[in-house]
Structure 1
Amino acid sequence: MTATRHFLLAAGGTGGHMLPAYALAGELIARGHRVALVSDDRGLRIPGAPAEMETHVLPAGRVSGGPIGWIKAALAIRKGRAMAIDLIRDFDPAVAVGFGGYPSLPSLLAARATKRPSVVHEQNAVLGRTNRMLASGVNAIAVAYRNIQRLPEACENKRHLTGNPVREEIIAIRDDGFPPLPEDGIFRLLVVGGSLGATVLSEVVPAAIAMLPRALLDRLQVVQQCREDDIETVRAKYADLGVAAECAPYIQDFPERLRWAHLVIARAGASTVAELACAGRPAIFVPYPHAMDDHQTYNVVDMVEAGGAVAFAQPDFTAGAVAKHIQRMALEPGALEDAAERAASCGLPDATRDLANLVESLAAPPMMDVIRVGASAQRARTSGIAAARKEAQ
């Protein structure tokens, strides 16, 4: 039985940071450990936290806004670090784990000050600003992609490829395999644009579909996530084309929709890319051009290089280019199945387990373990001496 240890997790206030933290917390709790999580008010409002996990809010300033903003941020971080040191002394974690975002900074600085082992997990293919600030002082850097940017060369030996934790419902899709597509079967297209949808997808995808041959349109089913302001316009376009389409601002049953999809058109957020790779679904990616450090462009490199996806920079995401790719994938025998297999080769479905293993490996053994090991060693030495004496007689 695994000995109970305490682990402190710290994450920024977005779903991209919080959901991997929740996944790790759930796995550690299932292994018999206690977990506390630090974030800001925004982060702790994100649903999905394990009920057994305790939560804390600590000050953490965002480093922006010029000299005055920097001073305010420094003061907030300093206050948060002092409070985090008190929390660490009280909770006594074996390891601290940061998931990026400024709210994770005070806790990881406090872990360094109290000489606790620490890990950072990077969800994107570009090491984020907070994780870059912390990289030199942590024991391990868990990454989600084989190609990682902005990792300091001196920290290369700390890199561990774990992947991004993915929901069990998505991993189950991988086990089911790719949905069959007979020559005259229904071709199912899923279009997702991140948490709020993307207007560029609402404009380009229906225009691309309008260029497809009638025989393919008659076989096509579309589920598309749209911004509220775009929904009626997109619905009308599909109705004019005679295409079966369902449009919504949020896809409630995303795992089930992904299960039957033959091709996905999507932005390239870390969670989206990880889920498509784990499920084994070919994709057309349109990285968000204003993402920090252009990380979405780098998020798709592994899948594109493997042949499981294509990526268009937003200016190149035109109706003609998209129509050409959809038609080739839908009509060329074996194209979808081959791309699906290549996409799945990039998936890391054991990310939650592997991340938990990494974190546990940095935890010093509890004192009772040390006592038991020491006692066992003493007994072994005593037995060995006794056996040697007996043999000598």
Structure 2
Amino acid sequence: MTAASRARALAGVGRLSDAEAEVRAGLARLPTDPELLALLAGLLRLQGRRAEALAAADAAVAAAPHLSGTHIERAECLLMIPSGTEESSETSPASTASPASGPSTAESDETRTAEALREAREAVRLDPAHPPAYRVLARVLSSRREFDQAREAARRALALDPHSVIDLLTLGEIERHAGRRGAARAAVGAALAEDPGNPDGRWLIALLDAERLRVRSSLRGLRELAADHPDKLDVTALTWPVRGLLGGFRRGLGVGVPLVVLLAGCALLWPSWELAARAAAATVTLVMIGFGLRVLVPAGLLPWRCLALLPVRTRRAVRAGWVAAGATVALLLGYGVTALALLPVLALVTLAVLLVTGRADRM
């Protein structure tokens, strides 16, 4: 058995560190072996060691530019590198980017995905009958939001291997990101027909249920997945109804509160506007409450219990966010009932707190 085959066997049972050690031992004997270099890049990528993974992929391409597999691995490594950042200087969720950082980040992201696209196309050119080449091309195109071309690449992979679970799931991901949830569900369903227990397929179904606010079905799927594959799913994913709903409140109240403040200000100058301001406050309140009940009632207590499993900083941010959201809704309701002009101004303050907590809780 070769070092590469031993490493793949170890990686297959989740022993990534042991697999990496096996590959490095093989590279000590054959330092320019392209198979071992590409395998090392993949193992480092799976461990989240982005810069090291790309360096190994660069070495693999340099050692064997004629092999499709080396370009596939380099494209995969480029896809997972954070936009505009190095591994050692990733921005924390709570950090604040300067206004000038936006264009450079977008430019870096474009450069990175363009390079990944060149690698993926080179992989296809070198081996046009190799499904993984089309698969990585599809993923790169999807990351660039070129969904029609991504869909076509995924279908080319499936034409070569119609029963490939990973290619069906890739197509499902593309359709989900393109907003075609029905097509995504069909692709994932076909994958699960081939492999009913596939954790990635079950995860995608739970995501699709969540996006359609099928809360009970999504949580049931995630709970079963966590029980069957505890190594594949962080149970904090079960907090999504609580945290996702809080994100919805930030968006809804971020629009509703300024509108009410504007109308309330107009009402101070022109009293005839008061009815419109109070009606807007009542409408925003009812929409937020209705949306909350639509998610929280079917979710039950499970998401709240799982909050205790979150990191302390995140847990505090979620709790503070809920207090701020509740206070904001209560203040809007109070204004709708009493027309007291101070209440919308206070709602702006609590809204600011709600928005700030969102920076500490990135799902």
TM-score, L = length of structure 1: 0.26
Kindly indicate which of the two structures has a greater share of residues assigned to strand: 1
More relative contact order in 1 or in 2 (CA 8 Å, sep 6+)? 1
Kindly indicate which of the two structures has a greater share of residues assigned to helix: 2
TM-score, L = length of structure 2: 0.28
